[in-house]
Chain A
Amino acid sequence: DARVTQTPRDKVTEMGQEVTMRCQPILGHNTVFWYRQTMMQGLELLAYFRNRAPLDDSGMPKDRFSAEMPDATLATLKIQPSEPRDSAVYFCASGPGQTTDTQYFGPGTRLTVL
């Protein structure tokens, strides 16, 4: 049963600390997306990759967020330094590669910044 995996599932940290979230896309999928979900803003796209190359990161605060794909099986989202307003659920999703394709979501990382 192919699925997107994310680690950690929960993260509590203090303001100013670095946070790294990891995602393993479904094998064979070549598009990877990072979303953030909050009660106030809903589900927002932060960044996405195709064939490991970043296509759009306009949804990300550039000064503190960075997203990378070191290889086809790993995507990372880093926040440095973290702030309380970053508290949210961060979802990774992957897709087979066409713009019309469904995106399949991972279980999410619940981040709390104190």
Chain B
Amino acid sequence: QKEVEQNSGPLSVPEGAIASLNCTYSDRGSQSFFWYRQYSGKSPELIMSIYSNGDKEDGRFTAQLNKASQYVSLLIRDSQPSDSATYLCAVNRDSSYKLIFGSGTRLLVRP
């Protein structure tokens, strides 16, 4: 079992729809959770960070964390073609500096 699991996709949604990206992790000691977006040929860039159970909203993005279920998700409202990218979930291990990345979910937003 991988430490951080994501569905590789592609997840295809029409423009304007809600895209839901999911991630599960195995280390119960993890304290910090991140969503990065990576366009093809580019470096990962931070979308959201979340540290407490519940929802955190930033513009069209909402991160959801459930530590009991070891589950973190990212919702993208009003999806745009420019949101088409690979979304990487990252979790820190043992409250250390070490981030473990999932393999990423490729999102395609159809015009």
Contact = CB atoms under 8 A, between A and B. Distances in A.
Contacts of B45: 105
Interface string A14-52: 000000000000000001010000000011110010100
Contacts, number: 48
Q: Determine chain A's interface SS by DSSP, over half rule.
A: strand
Interface residues of A, number: 21
Interface in B75-111: 88, 92, 95-104
A36 to B, nearest CB: 11
B101 to A, nearest CB: 4
Interface of B: 31-32, 34, 36, 42-46, 49, 51, 88, 92, 95-104
Interface of A: 31, 33, 42-45, 48, 50, 55-56, 91, 95, 99-100, 102-108
